[in-house]
Amino acid sequence: MHFHQNGYVSADPRIEEAAGYGIDRSQDLPDEVDVLIVGSGPAGMIAAAQLSQYPEVNARMIEKRGSRLVIGQADGIQARSVETFQAFGFAEEIMREGYHITEMSFWNPDPENPEHIIRTGRPKDDEHGISEFPHLIVNQARVLDYFAQFAVQSPGRITPDYGIEFVDLAVDSGAADSPATDHPVSVTVRYTAGERAGEERIIRAGYVVGCDGARSKVRSSIGRTMTGDQANHAWGVMDVLANSDFPDIRTKCAISSKHGNILHIPREGGHLFRMYVDLGEVPEDDARQVRQTSIDEIIRRANAIIAPYSLDVKNVAWHSVYEVGHRLTDAFDDTDETDPGSSCPRVFITGDACHTHSAKAGQGMNVSMQDGFNIAWKLGQVVSGRSSTELLRTYSAERQVTAKNLIDFDKEWSTLMATPQEELPDKAYLEDFYVKTAEFPAGFMTEYTESMITTSSKHQDLADGFPIGRRFKSARVQRSCDANFIHLGHEARADGRWRMYVFADRAAPTSGEGDAGTARSKVEALASWLESDPASPLVAYRREGEDLDALIELSVVYQQEHKEFSFPDVPTVFRPHVGAFGLEYVEKIYAALPDEDIFAARGISRDGAVVVVRPDQYVSGIFPLEAHAEIGEFFAGVFAPVK
């Protein structure tokens, strides 16, 4: 953690100094805001947390509930989400709190007694070592709490405005030509709690982010519609405290029996667990009567499915009944996606407001958070004047494809979960599918295509292990200045900055043009360009008074062991002077490990490479060390000129 740059800090260093709108944050919702977030679910909370790192952006979040969420319906936390939590500073805390899924048991009818079930498989949850982060089960409410803590401790000091609901909005017809800092969206809100309950008022917003669920009023207000299908298959879900002789009661299980199916998920704390209990096919004329299924009936069916074992339920924390549905919104913003000349969007929707699916793959909260992360840093960059409004067009283009892929996967997985074993191609089919497709539900198959923030694959061969458009896959290195072992990707904070990882060529660091017989390294030439050339992104877009790394954090990784060089040998651009006292910061200089070489692990060319990563941890581009002009041209399409 980086602190003390502005003076000695004796209190919690995670509490940053208030700045901008965070200095004197109004207790009442103001008449005018730059960004209005509607809904404090996973997408809304991560958006608020990210925007709190842009204190010059006046962002507010409204929530119709009168207080924080107490019991969340989502609980599965995939490894990609834990990786994201690392950037927001609370991965370690939530890993201590959560239940860790390490393997999954598969239970099927006993061939000798089909009325009973037996365990038929027990694969590891992450059979292929996809991530260094675990697969967790944590109450959704706790995830929201952690994001809320980050937001209130960040410079922008964003807190939810509880007891206010969204009613409707209208975008001024002249918004197409208005600057990013204008407020052309009229939003009608209504108070739902307190002395003002029932009162309506209109506020003006620059942008609106709808995080208000499957029945989203924001979606309706911009004329977007959901299309898809209903699977006509119902499931009862319950979080319970119970005693049981079922031997895998504390292990994630897929249970198939002659009486139906169960997806069993232990919860955090040592006692609580969740069961998704198969309620069978639903007639088309059911008129949602299945939704009235009692908790007693759900428990009865669960006992029938797990025979010869049984459940003795002592307490029901929460239960519900739902029918599987797979629906997708036609676009995730209010612009005309068929017209390239249409105005840039002013209203966005995220999470369940634009994609719904079953809970079987554990993706709802996870994908929603990535929606919120994606749009938040882009809004922060645009409203703060760092980028043009064209950046906002990339949100719907990127996230709609991701949602479509999720729905396609979930259709297959949820169908398999509801299929009797005897109707599958073979007895191990479900287990094999689970292992084979593990990377997708873990959250690592998202791949953004070429755009203003994602290059072509022209230079992909320089670093095969960092696929362009996919998240930056971390690996261990050794910090030069203190010999600490560091996971490179874990050092990136969700502070709105881009990252540039420079992987050095063979030449060791030198302090000048090179000694006699020693060629100047490509890294040294790149460093000189980055530090002083007018076309360098560090020069062209840095505002007066800002640190060298205010927009782009540089890291350099050398092929030599850390003992073979020291930080004074490294070009000064990689050890910038920061903060109020201009202190030299030397902790972004690394060496490859001899027995765990990042160059070999990630297929990085020994001639070196530059890997550019955007604020939400996805690889934007890969460049040769000598491609100075190409790097400059890329960032010229990302950042706006300094005014």
Domain endpoint, select from 344, 378, 408: 408
Mean pLDDT, to the nearest integer, of 103-124? 94
Where is 201: in which H helix or E strand? strand 200-210
Mean pLDDT, to the nearest integer, of 57-86? 91
Q: Is the confidence at residue 518, as pLDDT, over 70?
A: no
> Comparing C-alpha atoms, which of 578, 597, 390, 592 is closest to residue 497?
578
Q: Would residue 601 count as lying in a domain? A: yes
Q: Would residue 414 count as lying in a domain? A: no
Q: Based on the fold, state whether residues 560 and 593 are members of the same structural domain.
A: yes
Q: Based on the fold, state whether residues 500 and 628 are members of the same structural domain.
A: yes
Q: Is the confidence at residue 512, as pLDDT, over 50?
A: no
b/e burial code for range 12-36 (CB count within 10 A of at least 16 → b): eeeebebebbbeebeeebeeebbbb
Question: What amino acid occupies position 327?
Answer: R
CA dist 488 and 494 (Å) reads 14
Q: Would residue 586 count as lying in a domain? A: yes
Ordered DSSP codes for 318-386: EEEEEEEEEEEES-SBSS-TT-TTSPPPSEEE-GGGTEE--STTS-HHHHHHHHHHHHHHHHHHHHTTS
Which SS3 state, helix, strand or coil, does residue 24 take?
A: coil
In what order do the strands lie in the sheet containing 273-281? 113-121, 104-110, 252-257, 260-266, 273-281, 226-244, 311-329, 355-356
Q: Based on the fold, state whether residues 615 and 555 are members of the same structural domain.
A: yes
Q: Based on the fold, state whether residues 335 and 320 are members of the same structural domain.
A: no
At residue 473, the pLDDT reads 95
CA dist 230 and 237 (Å) reads 18
Contact criterion met (CB below 8 Å) for 25 and 157 = yes
Q: Based on the fold, state whether residues 497 and 601 are members of the same structural domain.
A: yes
At residue 517, the pLDDT reads 42
3-state helix, strand, coil in the chain (%, to 5): 25, 30, 45
Helix 364-383 × helix 393-417 angle, to 10°: 180
- CATH number of the domain enclosing 366: 3.50.50.60
Q: Would residue 466 count as lying in a domain? A: yes
- CATH number of the domain enclosing 535: 3.40.30.20
| Half-sphere CA count of 28, side-chain side, radius 13 A | 8
Q: Which two tokens stand for residue 37?
A: 């977030």
User: Max CA-CA distance within the chain?
Assistant: 87
Q: Which two tokens stand for residue 314?
A: 């002592």
Q: State the virtual CA torsion across 369, 374, 375, 376 in degrees, nearest 10.
A: 80
Ordered DSSP codes for 205-231: EEEEEE---TT-HHHHHTT--EEEEEE
Q: Based on the fold, state whether residues 262 and 192 are members of the same structural domain.
A: no
Q: Which two tokens stand for residue 191?
A: 């108070």
Where is 443: in which H helix or E strand? none
Q: Would residue 24 count as lying in a domain? A: no
Q: Who wins on pLDDT, 93 or 434?
A: 93
Q: Based on the fold, state whether residues 40 and 148 are members of the same structural domain.
A: yes
- CATH number of the domain enclosing 280: 3.30.9.10
Q: Is the confidence at residue 542, as pLDDT, over 70?
A: yes
Q: Which two tokens stand for residue 97?
A: 């709190």
CA dist 379 and 381 (Å) reads 5
Domain endpoint, select from 325, 340, 362: 325
Regarding pTM above 0.85, the answer is yes
CA dist 464 and 457 (Å) reads 10
At residue 287, the pLDDT reads 61
Mean pLDDT, to the nearest integer, of 326-352? 88
Residue located via tokens 């003006």: 204
Q: Would residue 525 count as lying in a domain? A: yes
CA dist 455 and 473 (Å) reads 18
Q: In the chain, pLDDT over 90 holds for what percent of residues?
A: 76
Q: Based on the fold, state whether residues 557 and 602 are members of the same structural domain.
A: yes
Q: Would residue 446 count as lying in a domain? A: no
At residue 165, the pLDDT reads 97
Q: Based on the fold, state whether residues 217 and 240 are members of the same structural domain.
A: no
Q: Is the confidence at residue 36, as pLDDT, over 80?
A: yes
Mean pLDDT, to the nearest integer, of 561-572? 92
Q: For the chain, how many structural domains are there in total?
A: 3
Q: How far is CA 590 from the centre of its chain?
A: 27
Question: What does each C-alpha distance from 425 to 117, 122, 179, 421, 450 come to in angstroms?
Answer: 19, 19, 58, 8, 38
Residues 213-267: tens digit of each pLDDT: 989 999 999 999 988 876 667 889 999 999 999 999 999 999 999 999 999 999 9
* Local structure of residue 458 (DSSP, 8 states): T
Residues comprising the chain, all counted: 643
Which SS3 state, helix, strand or coil, does residue 446 take?
A: coil
Domain endpoint, select from 299, 325, 351: 325
Question: What amino acid occupies position 641?
Answer: P
Q: Based on the fold, state whether residues 195 and 109 are members of the same structural domain.
A: no
Mean pLDDT, rounded, of the chain: 91
Q: Based on the fold, state whether residues 192 and 308 are members of the same structural domain.
A: no
Mean pLDDT, to the nearest integer, of 506-512? 66
Q: Would residue 641 count as lying in a domain? A: no
Q: Based on the fold, state whether residues 217 and 234 are members of the same structural domain.
A: no
At residue 134, the pLDDT reads 93
Query: Could you tell me the residue range of the domain that residue 538 belongs to?
Result: 460-636
